[in-house]
Structures are given as structure tokens and as C-alpha cells.
Amino acid sequence: MHIKLPLKPNDLKNRSSAFGTLNWFTKVLSVDESIIKPEQEFFTAPFEKNRMNDFYIVDRDAFFNPATRSRIVYFILSRVKYQVINNVSKFGINRLVNSGIYKAAFPLHDCKFRRQSEDPSCPNERYLLYREWAHPRSIYKKQPLDLIRKYYGEKIGIYFAWLGYYTQMLLLAAVVGVACFLYGYLNQDNCTWSKEVCHPDIGGKIIMCPQCDRLCPFWKLNITCESSKKLCIFDSFGTLVFAVFMGVWVTLFLEFWKRRQAELEYEWDTVELQQEEQARPEYEARCTHVVINEITQEEERIPFTAWGKCIRITLCASAVFFWILLIIASVIGIIVYRLSVFIVFSAKLPKNINGTDPIQKYLTPQTATSITASIISFIIIMILNTIYEKVAIMITNFELPRTQTDYENSLTMKMFLFQFVNYYSSCFYIAFFKGKFVGYPGDPVYWLGKYRNEECDPGGCLLELTTQLTIIMGGKAIWNNIQEVLLPWIMNLIGRFHRVSGSEKITPRWEQDYHLQPMGKLGLFYEYLEMIIQFGFVTLFVASFPLAPLLALVNNILEIRVDAWKLTTQFRRLVPEKAQDIGAWQPIMQGIAILAVVTNAMIIAFTSDMIPRLVYYWSFSVPPYGDHTSYTMEGYINNTLSIFKVADFKNKSKGNPYSDLGNHTTCRYRDFRYPPGHPQEYKHNIYYWHVIAAKLAFIIVMEHVIYSVKFFISYAIPDVSKRTKSKIQREKYLTQKLLHENHLKDMTKNMGVIAERMIEAVDNNLRPKSE
């Protein structure tokens, strides 16, 4: 198993603290060292029984810690043969459990978590973890990562190390995000275009064209007054600054995490883990084909030929592609729902503000459609998640990866591709497709030849995207916490009433743990997936919702303690596993970081109204295009709403004739087109081409600037710190030197014994002759 164990105590200096000048503050945040003693550092080497004297053994019974003992026992149990039928071997405790021969197989917790055990043989690690890590009163403290690793293994330790580091970095993003939000909130009264929308003599007199066929009436622009005020908060200059900041922040987070991960690899002896990992028992059981290894020229067994592997990969890829298409089909269904239900809301909801009913101010047809569609989308997401989980496991099992790391990485990529489309597709639709291909009132564009495309509010679709993000992020966080807290607690409560030894005063430890919840085959997969999906929301669409990092920060502070509470109190102890890093999640985050630059640039350019406003301010508010003597935002709304002649309506798209807005010959719509009577009527005007050019230029400039900064940061910050490299190199040097010296000592000792025996033999042979 290549288990690394201590050779001698580490004589290198400990890593200097980042809070060296704030010792008092660090002491408050850190775990009390008198309660959880720091782990002593050693130089380590793979254990070999014939070199036992070379290793640092103080207590022979405690040389292998409990987590290592559990790993060794599980390694044996997962490979032991128990039956041979028709030359087919059956082996492994997992197969026995799946067959129902055994109820369960799991390592035991060391004691109760609520009170300290009086048994001197119990180390009370579970109690210490509950008290100093999982208890709510420890929510402000740093995590005892070394004890987590010692009790649960490196795989769980690296997860909590990553989650804690991600949460720390979110603190900076949350502070900047709140500052940008406050900037927009405090400056909303200076939002000239919103004032024009709400003004009774401007927005109150602008008659807007119907947004659907036949049933939708004409409406006044000022019914969108409240939504335009909210939009001023999010669609401000602070949003642009925050989007650029987040592009840099995500790079800093990933680069500094790599450095922290390298430190943990050294401290937890997982630097050369990939060379040590064994094949999965399921893989070994299927190895029936014999081939010649090109390197060793020896026979080895593999589960299938190259042609068989190609067929499996093709079938697996096809299955994943089919399910992604199924999600896209569900998204199209949501779009059709939005198009059809908007007609109903437009016909039922009032179109004028009477100033007395607050519902009329906030519940516009666009808002009602957006909220109901977001809720339905969230429900469909959760249902498809449950179904696809089982499908992804079946596909990965059929693919048969060699090692556990390969298995988890393969499953991770399949699940994330699905979840990416599932969670983000509706947001991508609102951000980049809704309201972009609608035509104009005289010639609207239809979906499937039947449903007229949705239009955005006069202020754009940015507020709707913010609503979608809030519902999905908030709903997902609430739903996950309910699942993680209430479900295992209720199941364990039920299990206590079904104990076999219920009549006994003392229930044995194995039975107490048996009635706890099993972690499941995927282990921490869903914990990672939950955080990575959140990471996507925080980075991909942050230009529309600056408070997303703050929500993520609050959720993660609770998430760490909820996961800790769940592991220590509600779940059976997991079989400890080694892990060098966070696996496939690292390249996934890097891909999200690169995509986030593009999405945020396009949200600012195409979803928000920032670029059209800047173009109007600098070019179209003053001569030769404007009438104002100085740069101003006055007249922006009138300039960005085109005029349509009611007589030019086609019969199909003509609005509801029963309108209480009086007779009118023209209406307005959101676009940049020439008015009726112009030689190029209803064609895009010069303002449109100025805006398109400015949008494309903005995307190119913003992307190149942020990518340049990102690549410079990636180059300037090495993945492994110089200090960590020195530690690794010195450990290798001292380990080799120590083993070499011990080997020389053994050789010298053996040679001395041999020399003495030879001299003694020569003396015995020569003594009779001399006599």
C-alpha cells in the first residue's frame, strides 16, 4: 500500500503564520492547543517490514494510527476471496454487503460525541471534533485540519481545507460586492432615465406597443417605474468595476489555493500519491484479457481490448449527450411556458397605476412571468438531478475506470456537464437570448411558428436575470440545508426505536454506529458539486448580482459547520482514503474562471443598458445627433424607444382593441429603428450601429485586459511556494541519507560479523598445524 510512516522528527522550521503581527487575533480564531495538540511533523518514507528498525517507533501499538489501520483492514477485506464457482472468483466485502450476506461494513467511531469517554484507551477524537469543530459556538474558529485528517483521512481533510479557503477568499469578494451594491443604491436617486420612466409627463404619456398578439393591450411606460428603480441599483458603474474585480479575484483564489494545496501535500505525505494508488477491486475482478506490456515485455491482465474500450467510451458519451439534450428540451419547455403564460398575465393584470394598490406597482406581467417560470425551472432542476444521478453512476460503472481517482474524476465530469446545463441554461437564456431576436411590432419573430418571442422590460433583462439568480441560489441553499440537516436527523431518530439491543442498558458501539446514516458510495461528491455550482453562480453571472458573493459567504460559513455536524454526529465513520488534491474539480473551476470573463463582459454589453447609455451620453445627447448643449442623460428614454404606426399592425399581431388608453395612432417599442414615413422606415438607424460597435469594442477590450491580468498573475504566482519546494527537497535528501546510512551500518555490522567468523574459522584450521 506504500503507506508513508515516520523515520525521524522533522528538524525544519514550522511554516510562518500569515497573521504573525496579530498573534492575539490568531489566538482567538485558532483552536486551543491545550485541547487539540498540534501534530508533530516527521520525515516519512514508505513502510517496509524488513526495515522496521529504520522507522521512528515510540509505541509499537500506536505506530499505525486508527485511520491507517482502517485503510489497511479495508484494503484486505475488499480483495479477500470467499468463493470460487466455475473458475470464477468472488471476492470483496462490498460484494457481500450488496448481496445481503452482511448488513454493513464500516469503521467505528471511537466514542460518544457529546461527552468525553472515561476509558483511557479511547482517544476521544470524535468528542474533540464535535466540541471544537462541529459545535455552533466554534463557528468563528479555524478548522482543526490535522485532527480531521487524522480521524477521517486525507480525502475529507482536503475537502474541508478547500472549503475553508474558498470561504476566506469570499470575504474579500463579498466586501467589494456590498460596496458596489451600496454605490448603486445610494446613487439611484441620480438615475435620470429612471426618473423619466416614472415621470407622469414623460413615462406616463408614452404608450407602448402590445407585447403579445391579440390579447395584450397597449400600456403606459410608467407601470415599469418600480422595476426601473431597482434596475438602477444593479445596472450601474459599480457593476462594471465589480465584474472586472471578480475576473481578477477568481484567478487569485485558484493560484493561492494551488500553493495551499501543495503545502498540504507535503504536510500530509501525499506528494507521490498517484504512483502509489492501486486498482479498484471491481476493475481487478474484470481483468480477463492477457496482453504483453510494451515496457516490461511481461504478461498483464486488462478488462477489455482497445476495441472494447472504444465501444464503451462511445456508448457512455452518447448517453451523456442524450441527457444533456433532454435538459435542453426541458429549457425549451420553460421558454414555451413563459411565452404562453405571459399572454394570460398581460390580459389579466392591470395596465395602469391607480396609486392605491401596491400589487399593481410591483406585479407586472413581466415580473409575474419571471417569478413563476423561475420557480418551475427550479423544481424541474431538482427532479432531473435525482434521475440523472443514478444514470451517471450506471454509465461510469459500465466505463470501468482503473483506480478510485479515475472513477471519481470520470463521474465528476459527467455529473458536472449535466448540472452545468441544468442549473445555468435558464440564466444563459435570459442573459443572452431573451429579447434579442424579437423583430418589431409590424414583423415579430415567432418560436416554432406559433409563439411570439419574449421582450425585455424597457430597462432590459438584467433585473429578470437577478431575480432568476436569487431564486435558484436561495432555493438551492435552503433545499440543500434541509436535506443535509433534517433528513439524516429524522432517519437516525427512527433508527433509535428499532435497535436490536434496545432492552440493554449499554448499547455496543457497533450497534450505535450501525443505526447512523451511511455516507453513500459517492462520499463527498455532492458536497463538492454543491459548492462548484455555487462557485459558478458567484463568477459567471456576478455582473447582474453583486450580492452573490455575500450570500455564498453566509451559506458557506453555515455549510462548513453543518457538514462537520453531519459527519461527527449523524453519519457512520467513513473508510479513510488518501487524496492528493481536489481532483477533477480543479480544472472545472479553471474552466469556469475563463468562461466567467466572457459571460460577464457579454452581460454588461448585451443584457444591461450601460453601453447604450454611454453612447447616448457621449455621442447622441449633443450635436450633431442631439439637441442638448452639454453632455446629459436627459431625453435618453425618448431616444431609445422607436415609433410604430398602429395602422401598420398585421391582423395577427394587432393588440387588444378594448383598451382604456384612448385612441392613438402610434405606439413605442424598445429598439433603434427609423420611424414610419422615413425612407428606410423600420430599418435599424445610426444609433443602433453605434451601439453595436461600442458593445463589440467593449467586449474585446474587457476580455483582453482581464485575460492579460489573469495570465500575468498565473505566471507571477508559482503553484508551489519556494519554501514548500525546499521542504520537499530537504525531506528527500534527509530520507535518502538516513536510509543509506542505516543500510551502511547494517552492511558494516554484517561484514564485521562475517569477518569475525572467517578469522575464527581460519584460526581453527591453522591451530592443529602449529601445534
pLDDT-based confidence at residue 509 (cuts at 50, 70, 90): confident
Residue 212, pLDDT above cutoff 80: no
For residue range 738-752, list pLDDT tens digits in order.
767 766 666 676 677
Cell output for 123 = 482517544
Taking residues 573-584, report their average pLDDT: 85
Per-residue pLDDT, 590: 92
Taking residues 265-272, report their average pLDDT: 80
- Give phi and psi for 297, each to the nearest 5: 60, 30
Higher-pLDDT residue of 253, 623: 253
Does 498 reside within a domain? yes
Cα(609)–Cα(614) distance, rounded to whole angstroms?
A: 9
- Please state, for a pLDDT cut of 90, what percent of the chain lies above it: 14
Q: Which domain holds residue 204?
A: 154-271+400-410+426-613+697-716
Per-residue pLDDT, 766: 64
Cell output for 296 = 516490461
- Give phi and psi for 138, each to the nearest 5: -100, 15
Q: Which candidate, 547, 664, 692, 505, places its Cα nearest to that of 170?
A: 547
Does 725 reside within a domain? no
Taking residues 41-46, report their average pLDDT: 77
Higher-pLDDT residue of 234, 764: 234
Taking residues 657-680, report their average pLDDT: 81
| Eight-class DSSP state of 52 | G
Residue 393, pLDDT above cutoff 50: yes
For residue range 64-84, list pLDDT tens digits in order.
878 888 888 988 888 888 877
Least confident of 118-122, 251-255, 270-274: 270-274
Taking residues 180-188, report their average pLDDT: 88
**8 Å CB contact between 266 and 724:** yes
Taking residues 364-392, report their average pLDDT: 77
Cα(587)–Cα(597) distance, rounded to whole angstroms?
A: 16
Residue 320, pLDDT above cutoff 90: no
pLDDT-based confidence at residue 689 (cuts at 50, 70, 90): very high
Q: Which candidate, 460, 438, 435, 436, places its Cα nearest to that of 227?
A: 460
Q: Which candidate, 178, 150, 159, 172, places its Cα nearest to that of 64?
A: 150
Per-residue pLDDT, 177: 92
Does 492 reside within a domain? yes
For residue range 445-479, list pLDDT tens digits in order.
887 677 777 777 655 688 888 888 888 888 777 87
520 Cβ neighbours under 8 A, 6+ residues apart: none
Does 58 reside within a domain? no
Cα(249)–Cα(600) distance, rounded to whole angstroms?
A: 14
The residue to which cell 473458475 is assigned: 87
Mean pLDDT of the chain: 80
Cα(27)–Cα(9) distance, rounded to whole angstroms?
A: 26
Does 481 reside within a domain? yes
Higher-pLDDT residue of 35, 632: 632
Does 383 reside within a domain? no
pLDDT-based confidence at residue 20 (cuts at 50, 70, 90): very low
Residue 21, pLDDT above cutoff 50: no
pLDDT-based confidence at residue 18 (cuts at 50, 70, 90): very low
Cα(471)–Cα(148) distance, rounded to whole angstroms?
A: 34
Cell output for 398 = 459500465
For residue range 521-565, list pLDDT tens digits in order.
777 888 888 899 899 988 988 888 888 899 899 999 988 998 999
Taking residues 399-427, report their average pLDDT: 81
Does 583 reside within a domain? yes
Per-residue pLDDT, 254: 93
Per-residue pLDDT, 701: 93
pLDDT-based confidence at residue 118 (cuts at 50, 70, 90): confident
For residue range 153-180, list pLDDT tens digits in order.
888 999 999 999 999 999 999 999 999 9
Higher-pLDDT residue of 339, 510: 510
Per-residue pLDDT, 700: 93
Per-residue pLDDT, 767: 60
Strands 299-302 and 289-292: antiparallel
For residue range 80-103, list pLDDT tens digits in order.
888 777 766 777 888 888 888 898
Query: How many domains would you assign to the chain?
Result: 1
Does 362 reside within a domain? no
Residue 276, pLDDT above cutoff 70: no
Name the pTM for this structure.
0.83
Helix, strand, or coil (residue 358): helix
